[in-house]
Chains A and B, each alone.
Chain A
Amino acid sequence: MIDVKNLTVRFGGVVALNQLTLKITDDVVGLIGPNGAGKTTLTNALSGFVTVASGSASVNGLNLIDMAPHQRSRWGLARSFQKVQIVSDLTVEDHLATVLDAKGANRSLRDKAIVRALDYAGILSVRRVRGVDLNPFQRRLTEIAKCLVGAPRVILLDEPGGGLSETEMKELRKVILGIHPEFGAQILLVDHDVELIRDVCTSTAVLDFGKLIAYGPTAEVLEDEVVKAAYLGRMGAAND
């Protein structure tokens, strides 16, 4: 369970997260909101990349805020980035190996863990291909597979669907849906794509101006008038 209490993050005069309180209990939870609502700030606060002004964020009773980013990762907090971070001269399996290196994984178990994650993500065939030679979808899957090794407890996915085609999205949906049953990690999914959120998240939180404006079962939240006004409505207005 991810328990965020009165979390505030400021960038100079801008309040990116304003006294945010959020209890995440479901296995796959969506996080949506218009641009600048604080979605990425929340994932960054959870993974330790921004300084938190006040409040706490604990997972299963452990307060993450006091830990350095790499310690959170070793503890079991995995994340992917909005902009895919693939190293051009490392192979796919080396990307996963870095995570296991840091966690001090046993050598004999390491290869098994890598094969399992790559096989699950459907990129086992490119395990020895270097980052520079991967296509965008394989890069995306490599990043997700990287989150799966070393017994993750919580996985934060920041816009994993960005820039993918219809068929690739379908594949990605399947991958994300299977993560919890297969690897047991709780997933927080940030995305603009309402279809993706509707398909994979049992509950969804909506942020606007750093505040929680709605939270509950995904179908109900997406029908909520406040959410439509803040999120969908505004997008509609922008399209006009």
Chain B
Amino acid sequence: MIQTLSRNNLIILVVIVAAIWLLPLVLNSLWIKVVTSAVIFGLAAAGISVLFAQLGLINLSQIALVGIGGWVLLRLNYATGLPFTISLVAGGIITAIISSILALPALRMRGLYLALVTLMTAGAFQIIFNAFQFPNGGEGFWGVAQQSAGAFRRPLIAQSDVSYLRYVLTVAALCIAVAGVHRLTTPGRAWAMIRQSEANAMAAGIDVTFFKMWAFALSGFMAGIAGGLLAGALQQLDARTFVASDSILLFALAIVGGVYHWLGALIAGLLFKLLPALFNDFGVSADLTLVIFGAALLHAIMTAPRGIAGQILSGFAGLVKHRETSHD
């Protein structure tokens, strides 16, 4: 088992490195931007998966948390001279703290009720973002300038769009690796026990409150990093990006992509950002994607609980098995 695990990890590593170096070479400037935001929202979807796959909790406020991470990064960019990466991590940590505070209702609720509470939160942040906008170099705490925007600093190693895509891919891969390590170690086991039965988890000595808040913090951290990366990609943020309905859409797409594997989150990000752009490119209304997403969600719920990623991986596993048996 350990051998197959390390072989899989090796394949994953090769794919990631290849993607980081190859993708920017084959894409033109428009598609580099699209793929960058697809990867960023894939990272946010991976945060949704942590909560849903590990604890069975539905969080419909992920896009709002992405907005918080973006807000913090922009705020730090204009208020301080900190390097981009440090602001990015700070945004992730602050979002993680806010996310774990939002977890407090989740200690008592699950299912539909938790979904509703998180959706209300998303709605509240939508209003806050609309009212105060995102910092762009202005005065005061909210930092919104009416006329010209201030200077935005990208990371020194990633000034161009091409190198920034590489930066985004690297950061996203690191975050998803951190979540993967969680799955395989103490928190992953504790989450699995809690998902099964909280009484059973407590009887095993697990501090249920702590581990639930930890899951929300990790999920929020990933959203916060995604928000910071998005701010860096666009160099400014607009309140219209962070509407509550998009949180629902991203959650649905995380299910469609598959919550049990990082590949599913990547697929969710691609569906969320790449598909509408492709439709636009073909001259078809991007709203049509909603119809496809609806059908895909029904398909996932009815026949593919592990999502598209699950189907791809089991197909791949079948292929490997077939080859191995034909070798014998």
* A contacts, CB < 8 Å to B: 47-49, 68-70, 73-74, 78-79, 81, 85-90, 94, 97-99, 101-103, 128, 146, 150
Residue-wise interface mask of B (187-210) relative to A, using a CB-CB cutoff of 8 A (1 in contact, 0 not): 001101101110111111111100
Cα A99 to Cα B205 in complex, Å, equals 6
Partner of A102, one of B1, B196, B205: B205
Is B186 interfacial (CB-CB < 8 Å)? Answer: yes
Which residues of B in the span 170-229 have a Cβ within 8 Å of any Cβ on A? Answer: 186, 189-190, 192-193, 195-197, 199-208
Specify the chain A residue showing the minimal Cβ separation from B203.
A79
Residue of B190, B196, B202, B207 with most partner-chain A CB within 10 A: B202
In the complex, what residues of B have CB within 8 A of residue A48's CB? 202
With A70-B206, A103-B205 known as contacts, the answer to whether A98 contacts B199 (CB < 8 A) is no
Ranked nearest first, the 7 interchain pairs of A and B with the lowest CB-CB distance are A102-B205, A73-B205, A85-B200, A69-B202, A101-B186, A87-B196, A74-B205
Q: Is the CB of B199 within 8 A of A49?
A: yes
Contact A102 B206 (CB under 8 A): yes
Given contacts A87-B193, A87-B196, contact A98 B204 (CB under 8 A): yes
Number of interface residues of B (CB under 8 A): 19
Q: Mark B114-153, 1 if CB is under 8 A from A, else 0.
A: 0000000000000000000000000000000000000000
B186 contact set on A, CB distance < 8 A? 101
Is B205's CB under 8 angstroms from A81's CB? no
Question: Which one, B192, B204, B206, B208, contacts A146 given CB within 8 A?
Answer: B204
For the complex, give the distance between the alpha carbons of A94 and B186 in Å.
Answer: 9
28 A-B residue pairs with CB within 8 Å:
A48-B202, A49-B199, A68-B202, A70-B201, A73-B204, A74-B205, A79-B203, A81-B203, A85-B199, A85-B200, A87-B192, A87-B195, A88-B196, A89-B192, A90-B193, A94-B189, A97-B189, A98-B189, A98-B190, A98-B193, A98-B201, A98-B204, A101-B186, A101-B190, A102-B207, A128-B1, A146-B204, A150-B205
Residues of A within 8 A of B195 (CB): 87
Chain A residues with CB below 8 A from B207, complex form: 70, 102
CA distance A78 to B204 in the complex (A): 7
Q: Which residues of B contact A (CB under 8 A)?
A: 1, 186, 189-190, 192-193, 195-197, 199-208
**How many angstroms between the C-alpha atoms of A47 and B199 in the bound complex?**
10
Asked if A47 meets B203 with Cβ closer than 8 Å, knowing A87-B195, A94-B189, A97-B189, the reply is: yes
Smallest Cβ distance from B227 to chain A, in angstroms? Answer: 31
**Inter-subunit contact A70/B205 (CB<8 Å):** yes
* B199 and A101 within 8 A (CB): no
Distance in angstroms between the alpha carbons of A47 and B206 in the assembled complex: 13
Q: Within the assembled complex, what's the spacing in Å between the Cα atoms of A81 and B158?
A: 56
Tell me the minimal C-beta distance from B192 to chain A in angstroms: 5
CA distance A98 to B204 in the complex (A): 7
User: Does A90 contact B192, Cβ atoms closer than 8 Å?
Assistant: yes
Nearest-neighbour CB distance to chain A for B208, whole angstroms, equals 7
- B200: which A residues are within 8 A, CB to CB? 81, 85
Cα A119 to Cα B29 in complex, Å, equals 61
The distance from the CB of A190 to the nearest CB of chain B, in whole angstroms, is 14
